[in-house]
Amino acid sequence: MRQALSVAICVIVSLVLAAIGTRYVHPHWILATLYSLQLHAAALCVLAMILALAVKRHFFVWLLFAASLLFTGHAVLMGREFAAVPSAEEAQAPTVRLLSFNILNDNYENAGDIVRAIAGSGADLVNIMEAAPLRVHLDELAKTYPYRVGCGVIIPLCDQLMLSKTPIETPIVRSLSDIFPSRFILAKVTVAGRTINLVGIHTTKPYFDNFHSQELIRAALAISEAEGPLLVSGDFNASSLAPNMRRFLRLTGLKTVEWEPATWPIRAGVFGVPIDHVYARPPLKIKSLTRLANAHGSNHYGLMAEIAITGAAP
């Protein structure tokens, strides 16, 4: 019985580690979700191998245990690779507050609470995904955020929505693929005397063939045309550990915080996956990134970011 249990654990862990390991050889979209879950999956493999060691110690068990630790440690290191922490001096720079939230397109019963949460958030800039429930509340939102793109302004649909307390200049709207239209907005806003490029994005799920990678490449190309401070937020449906997400961050020069808050699924709480992100390109640096305490009926938690506008003004 002990032998059979040890073998079963080793076989399962071997398969999981082999699947994760494909990212280092030739990543495939079929395993994209697992790549985003590398930290979770590898940590579970570590626990499973501790159990296997308690059942029966063998060279192969120790080997799998070491491999599980290696994959877990590398996931932690990858999560920190794109972190940029402002120095004490930079933390004193003027700041801008950004709210990013996928509110869920059929979440109509909580629309009133969401509107009040947005209006009372203190955010200067807001990016909303799946914004259909807010259509009938636009006049109320306009009292706090008189400028917008989406829900009838440039974009007829009420899906991707950008709100601002200051004028939104030269907005560009693009469809990143044929699956969902107009889920990329790039515009300029002026906050604290500095002009910032603001991007709101919502990509498809990574298991829809190779569309997720294609959308990220198209988004990176569009972002590369923007010069100066850049702030990107949205629902990427993948963690920053995924190979295509890491390529996106390298191409765009975007940075994030050392430990991104988990946003999905909400039932998992702090053990969930950070698939909603706020990224910044220097001279902007993320001073703080926190998860909203209440999901207001969505299947995602929203994010509130405070961004330090570092560097000398042009």
Q: According to the model, what pLDDT value does residue 313 have?
A: 60
Angle (nearest 5°) at CA 219 between 164 and 99: 30
Q: Return the pLDDT at 1.
A: 64
Query: Nearest-5° angle of CA 57, CA 62, CA 66?
Result: 155
Three-state DSSP class for 287? strand
Give the CA count within 13 Å in the CB-facing half-sphere of 203: 29
* Ranges in the chain, pLDDT < 70: 1-2, 311-314
Compute φ and ψ for 304, nearest 5 degrees: -120, 125
* pLDDT for the residue numbered 86: 81
User: What is the sign of the dihedral through the CA atoms of 148, 151, 157 and 163?
Assistant: positive
pTM of the model: 0.93
pLDDT digit string (tens) for 13-30?
999 999 999 999 999 999
pLDDT on residue 123 = 97
pLDDT, tens digit (0-9, with 9 covering 90-100), for 36-45: 999 999 999 9
Please state, in angstroms and rounded to a whole number, the distance separating the CA atoms of residues 218 and 45: 35
Q: How many helices (H) and strands (E) does the chain have?
A: 8, 11
